[in-house]
Amino acid sequence: MGMYYASMARASTTSDAFNAVAEPRRREILNYLALQERPVSEIVAALGLSQPSVSKHLGVLRDVGLVHLRRDGRQKLYRTNPEAIRPLHEWTSTFKRSWQHQLKLVKERAEEKTHKIQSDSNSRSDHDLEPED
């Protein structure tokens, strides 16, 4: 991790949403919760993580406001908080134009190479069909 400086303190995972979602398992949990509210046991089963690990990650996500907790008897149900996720979406959207431009360049280059290969193939085929003297 040469891009990080030893003297620079790392921000707490509970300092903001960006630090919280830096952890891949938390992003998995958010993805899983994106469509509907779910109990901890279902998250554990679906993602193949241990219950203590899921509870810890949900605690971090709850601390930064990315998920809401609702109790139904003894069961804890979690759901995403779209308003808290909005800043993450807006920030990543700033890069969308750049990604689209890069993908367009890749597509154009691939199409040029395909066209060149087809042209070269056609010219060789035409040459092979010419009668020899």
7 within some domain:
no
Residues 101 and 59 both lie in one domain: no
CATH number at residue 34: 1.10.10.10
Distances (CA, A) of 28 to 88, 127, 131: 15, 57, 65
Give 59-116 pLDDT, tens digit per residue: 999 999 999 999 999 999 999 999 998 888 888 888 888 888 889 999 999 999 888 8
- pLDDT of 53 reads 96
Residues 76 and 34 both lie in one domain: yes
133 within some domain:
no
pLDDT confidence of 26, banded at 50, 70, 90? Answer: very high
Q: Which domain holds residue 50?
A: 17-84
- pLDDT of 34 reads 93
Residues 40 and 67 both lie in one domain: yes
Residues 33 and 67 both lie in one domain: yes
Give 40-75 pLDDT, tens digit per residue: 999 999 999 999 999 999 999 999 999 999 999 999
Strand order across the beta sheet in which 38-39 lies: 38-39, 75-80, 67-72
Residues 120 and 72 both lie in one domain: no
Residues 58 and 104 both lie in one domain: no
- pLDDT of 123 reads 72
Residues 51 and 107 both lie in one domain: no
Residues 68 and 43 both lie in one domain: yes
Q: How many helices, marked H, and strands, marked E, lie in the chain? A: 6, 3
**Nearest one of 92, 112, 90, 111 to 100, comparing CA atoms:** 92
Residues 59 and 103 both lie in one domain: no
6 within some domain:
no
Overall number of domains in the chain? 2
